[in-house]
Chains A and B, each alone.
Chain A
Amino acid sequence: MTTQAGAAVATAADQVDHPAKTVKGSPKWGDILLRVVAALVLLYLFLPIFVIILFSFNDPKGKFNYSWQGFTLKNWANPFKFPALTDALKLSLNVAAVSTAIAIVFGTLVAIALVRQRFRGQTAVDTFLVIPLTAPEVVLGAALLTLFLDLGWATGYVTILIAHVAFEISFIAMTVRARVRGFDWTLEDASMDLGASPARTFFKVTLPLIIPGIVAAAMLSFALSLDDFIITYFVSGSTVTYPLYVNAAVKASVPPQINVLATAILVISLILLGVGTLYRRKRIDA
Chain B
Amino acid sequence: MAGVASSSRQRSKIAPYLMILPALLYLGVFFVVPFFSLARTSLSSMGGSVYLPTLTFSWDFGNYLDAFSTYRDQIIRSFTYSLVATLLCLLLAFPLAYVIAFKAGRYKNLILGLVILPFFVTFLIRTIAWKTILADDGWVVTALGHIGLLPAEGRLLSTSWAVIGGLTYNWIIFMILPLYVSLEKIDPRLLEASKDLYSSNTRAFRKVILPLSMPGVLAGSMLVFIPAVGDFINADYLGSTQTTMIGNVIQKQFLIVKDYPAAAALSMVLMVIILVGVLMYTRALGTEDLV
Contacts and interface: CB of A to CB of B under 8 A. Distances in A.
A188 to B, nearest CB: 6
B241 interface: no
B3 A186 contact: yes
A116 B4 contact: yes
A15 interface: yes
Interface of B is mostly: helix
A165 B172 contact: no
Interface in B226-272: 226-227, 229-233, 237, 246-247, 250-251, 254-255, 260, 263-264, 267, 270-271
Nearest to A143: B34
Given A20-B106, A146-B37, A138 B267 contact: yes
Interface in A173-210: 173-175, 178, 183-186, 188-189, 192, 198
Contacts of A7: 290-291
B251 A227 contact: no
Interface string B6-24: 1101110101110110111
A259 B227 CA distance: 25
B152 interface: no
A234 B130 CA distance: 25
A198 B10 contact: yes
Contact of A174 (B111, B274, B291): B291
A178 B250 contact: no
Nearest to A193: B9
B223 interface: yes
Contacts of B112: 12, 16
Contacts of A22: 102-103, 105, 188
B46 to A, nearest CB: 13
A266 B121 contact: yes
Nearest to B124: A246
B81 interface: no
Given A48-B130, A126-B287, A34 B121 contact: no
Contacts of A242: 122
Contacts of B231: 136, 138, 230
B264 A262 contact: no
A1 B102 contact: no
Contacts of B87: none
A246 B263 CA distance: 25
B291 A189 contact: no
Contacts of B129: 47-49, 51-52, 55
A119 B120 contact: no
Given A52-B121, A52-B126, A192 B92 contact: no
B59 interface: no
Interface residues of A, number: 115
Given A147-B37, A233-B255, A234-B254, A16 B109 contact: yes
Interface in A252-271: 254, 258-259, 262, 265-266, 269-270
Contact of B119 (A1, A118, A146): A1
Interface in B100-125: 100-106, 108-109, 111-125
B28 to A, nearest CB: 9
Nearest to A175: B291
A189 B9 contact: yes
Interface string A114-149: 111111000001111111111111111011111101
Interface string B160-201: 000000000101111001101100100010011000000001
A66 B138 CA distance: 10
A30 interface: yes
A202 B254 CA distance: 48
A2 B171 contact: yes
Contacts of A3: 227
B79 interface: no
11 contacts: A15-B181, A42-B96, A46-B117, A55-B129, A126-B287, A134-B278, A136-B271, A144-B30, A188-B7, A192-B9, A198-B10
